[in-house]
């Protein structure tokens, strides 16, 4: 009790109390994040509008703002951890930029790297920015618990997305082609193929050249449509003939085709065993993406975020 009566100690305790009170009442300002560069946002909007062939609504622009703030945060955190100083790709990019700035320079690579950092090229180069964002994402994902998805989780996802595991029909076939100008020859061609029991390779010599080829293996209806057109695919799908027989003639956008069906696989739903590895990869990627999103949300709370 005597010690507390000493004036210097009283002043010390009072000062400490005032300091603690000031820290509580007036916390240090948060670092500022944003606003995103208007030029970058406008470029993103223009690219999107050109791709989507329409106007960009407020919700789309908000997503661009979110993406820019997220990437800026990851970039800053990467710089704060000196990740740019430990990545060979960043160093090579700086060397390339320095030699572009001065093609006559005789400086060594190490000297160019040092000069590039002094010029703060790592802060303005878009390629380096994307690289460091990716490195931060990998570091965050690697920090999450590495437990693989359970069999129950895989089965649950399989059942949830059952419709997406529908495997389309598959056709394997050869064909003989005649252009529209020669379509009148098709009946005689088919009769000769039947009479002589020609193989697809032999029958092909009776037809005309076809730029996309003559042999098609394991093709889905969508793949066939991309080559021959919708009418061809619809006519082929309407025919119910066992493999090992000739079909046709079948019409396409190019002319007529006499088709030899080599194999046919009916549409089916893939079994869980066939897609379990793909589902596991999807679940792992989703967990990593969620870990990154959670980390960004926590870290961003330490910043004063300015969207505009």
Of the pLDDT bands very low, low, confident and very high (cuts 50, 70, 90), residue 1 is: very low
Whether residues 115 and 191 fall in one domain: no
Q: Which region among 126-135, 191-200, 202-211, 239-248 has the lowest average model confidence (pLDDT)?
A: 239-248
Taking CB atoms within 8 Å and a gap of at least 24, the contacts of 142-149 are: 143/291, 144/287, 144/288, 144/291, 148/280, 148/284, 149/279, 149/280, 149/283, 149/284, 149/287
The whole-number pLDDT of residue 23 equals 55
pLDDT in tens, 33-45: 989 988 888 888 8
Q: What DSSP designation does 164 have?
A: G
- For residue 21, being part of any structural domain is answered with no
- For residue 24, being part of any structural domain is answered with no
Q: Supply φ then ψ for residue 301, to 5 degrees.
A: -65, -15
Whether residues 140 and 183 fall in one domain: no
Stretch 129-146: mean pLDDT: 92
- For residue 276, being part of any structural domain is answered with no
User: Tokens 């944003």 — which residue?
Assistant: 34
- For residue 249, being part of any structural domain is answered with yes
Of the pLDDT bands very low, low, confident and very high (cuts 50, 70, 90), residue 25 is: low
- For residue 69, being part of any structural domain is answered with yes
Q: Which region among 145-154, 248-257, 285-294 has the lowest average model confidence (pLDDT)?
A: 145-154
Stretch 90-115: mean pLDDT: 95
Stretch 157-170: mean pLDDT: 93
For 59, the domain range is 38-146+294-305
CB atoms within 10 A of CB 128: 24
Contact 287, 140 (CB under 8 A): no
pLDDT in tens, 285-294: 999 999 999 9
Whether residues 140 and 204 fall in one domain: no
Whether residues 187 and 262 fall in one domain: yes
- For residue 134, being part of any structural domain is answered with yes
- For residue 2, being part of any structural domain is answered with no
The whole-number pLDDT of residue 10 equals 57
Q: Supply φ then ψ for residue 20, to 5 degrees.
A: -65, -40
- For residue 4, being part of any structural domain is answered with no
pLDDT at residue 18 tops 90: no
Domain count, the chain: 2
pLDDT at residue 168 tops 70: yes
Whether residues 114 and 49 fall in one domain: yes
């Amino acid at each position: 009790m005597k010690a507390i009566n000493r004036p210097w100690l009283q002043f010390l305790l009072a000062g400490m109390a005032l300091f603690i009170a000031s820290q509580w009442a007036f916390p240090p300002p948060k670092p500022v994040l944003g606003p995103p560069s208007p030029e970058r946002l406008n470029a993103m909007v223009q690219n999107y509008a050109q791709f989507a062939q329409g106007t960009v609504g407020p919700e789309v622009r908000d997503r661009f703002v979110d993406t820019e703030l997220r990437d800026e945060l990851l970039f800053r955190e990467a710089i704060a951890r000196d990740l740019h100083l430990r990545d060979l790709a960043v160093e090579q990019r700086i060397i390339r930029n320095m030699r572009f700035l001065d093609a006559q320079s005789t400086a060594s690579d190490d000297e160019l790297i040092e000069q590039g950092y002094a010029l703060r090229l790592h802060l303005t180069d878009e390629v380096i920015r994307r690289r460091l964002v990716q490195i931060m994402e990998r570091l965050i994902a690697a920090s999450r618990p590495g437990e693989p998805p359970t069999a129950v989780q895989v089965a649950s996802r399989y059942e949830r997305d059952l419709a997406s595991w529908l495997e389309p029909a598959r056709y394997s076939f050869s064909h003989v082609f005649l252009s529209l100008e020669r379509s009148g020859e098709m009946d005689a061609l088919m009769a000769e193929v039947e009479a002589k029991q020609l193989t697809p390779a032999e029958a092909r010599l009776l037809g005309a050249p076809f730029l996309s080829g003559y042999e098609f293996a394991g093709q889905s209806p969508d793949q066939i449509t991309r080559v021959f057109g919708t009418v061809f695919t619809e006519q082929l799908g309407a025919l119910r003939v066992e493999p090992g027989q000739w079909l046709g003639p079948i019409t396409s956008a190019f002319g007529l085709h006499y088709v030899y069906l080599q194999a046919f696989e009916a549409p089916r739903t893939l079994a869980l065993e066939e897609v379990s590895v793909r589902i596991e990869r999807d679940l792992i990627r989703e967990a990593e993406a969620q870990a990154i999103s959670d980390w960004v949300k926590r870290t961003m709370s330490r910043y004063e975020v300015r969207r505009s």
